[in-house]
Amino acid sequence: MLDHLNQLELLRGVGRHQTDFLMEVKRLKLWQHRRLAYTYQDLAIDRRFGPATAFFLDELYGENESALRDRDLIRMYPTMKRLMPKFAFEAVTSALALDVLSEEFDQALATRLRGKPITNVSYCQAFRDVGRHADRVRQVGLMQKVGEGLDAVVSKPLLYATLKMLRRPSKMAGLGEMQRFLEAGFSAFRHMKGAAPFLHIIAQRETAFIETIFAGQMPDLQPDTKTGGGAG
């Protein structure tokens, strides 16, 4: 986990004092969030899959800084390792690995789209230019691993109860946001009563999205409402 935290710190440090670049990354994340909301609009309104869809869109693929990107977590790492049960620690570790890879791609795409309107065409071209096909596929695999990790423990009442018991000590230790992230994930997956169909749909659609773009074709994207040219 500490390696992932340090990687995120390095990635975020690159543009920390470059306000225009940070705005470009945020602009890209917003566009991607809208694309995902379009792709998974059917799951978002599904009674069974709705909460889990919201968790993935807002916590794992959201356009805002998440608890997992908080550089203060590096300082809190010894406390996390001591306080968090193994299942929670492993869930966060997998989510951080996904976060690192996603941040790398977001920054690379933002660099290529800097100062340009983001349209379906320009996004797909930048996606191909960045390349790293194998890592894109790995990104989907990490998403599945995070989901499978959450699904493996939500059916165990004692583990879920243990997590809830950590609310107060986590808050006192400065890990309140981390606790909120974990509880949101466990609650969403517990609601599904079996995540395999949900994870299969996401993996299938995201893999098709990747392969279609790399084949030089246009996937089924959101209606093409381009974003502006950014901060320059």
**pLDDT above 80 for 179:** no
Beta-carbon contacts of residue 113 (< 8 Å; ≥ 6 apart): 24, 28, 122, 123, 126, 230
pLDDT band at 196 (very low <50, low <70, confident <90, very high): very high
Residue 193 token pair: 């009563």
Q: What is the pTM of this model?
A: 0.78
The residue ranges of every structural domain in the chain are 2-14+38-101+137-214
Write the pLDDT tens digit of every residue in 23-52.
888 899 999 999 999 999 999 999 999 999
The residue type of 37 is A
DSSP string computed for 169-184? HHHHTT-HHHHHHHHH
| 170-180 average pLDDT score | 71
Write the pLDDT tens digit of every residue in 115-163.
899 999 999 999 999 999 999 999 999 888 888 888 887 777 676 777 7
* Residue 97 C-beta-side C-alpha neighbours within 13 Å: 17
**pLDDT for residue 108:** 94
**pLDDT for residue 231:** 43
H-type alpha helices, 69-228: 72-83, 86-112, 120-130, 133-154, 157-165, 167-172, 176-192, 196-214
User: 217-223, long-range: CB within 8 Å, 24+ apart, which pairs?
Assistant: 218/120, 218/121, 218/124, 219/124, 220/39, 221/35, 221/38, 221/120, 221/123, 222/34, 222/35, 222/37, 222/38, 222/39, 222/120, 223/38
Q: How many other β-carbons are positioned within 10 Å of the β-carbon of residue 112?
A: 16
Residue 13 token pair: 């440090």
